[in-house]
Structure 1
Amino acid sequence: MRPKTFFVLLIIAAAYILGARAGRERYDQIVDSLTAFWNSPDVKEARKNAKKQAAKARKKYS
């Protein structure tokens, strides 16, 4: 399994387990925190830069 896929599945499993143990309210709190993080301007900019660098690398090594 690719490392990125494994990492994403690990995060999903951890969020599910923490949510199931702490109840729906805590789960919603975790989801809201992750959503706020994912949509923050700094993270959006980092994702945009990563996409640009990946495109450059594809062109360079294609």
Structure 2
Amino acid sequence: MSLAVVLKNAITSFIIPTVFLTAWTLLLFEVTPWGFGKLLRWLNNTYHPNEIVVTENGFLIKLEHW
């Protein structure tokens, strides 16, 4: 069962709704699938880089834990 929580991001002062899945106890951090896209858009809008290179965007976990 997941629990929706709202956390305040102190750096940018906006509300981030976060969903804690069963992976919370395995990973020791929140699982926010939409957060990576939001971060990339913020980086693009703030710094206007020529390109953003993503070398890794996830983690390895056995499927039986999900």
Which has the bigger relative contact order, CA under 8 A and spacing at least 6? Answer: 2
TM-score class, shorter-chain normalisation, is 0.3 to 0.5
Normalised by the length of structure 1, the TM-score is 0.39
Answer with 1 or 2: which has the greater Rg.
1
- TM-score using structure 2 length: 0.37
Higher strand share goes to which structure?
A: 2
Structure number with higher helix proportion = 1
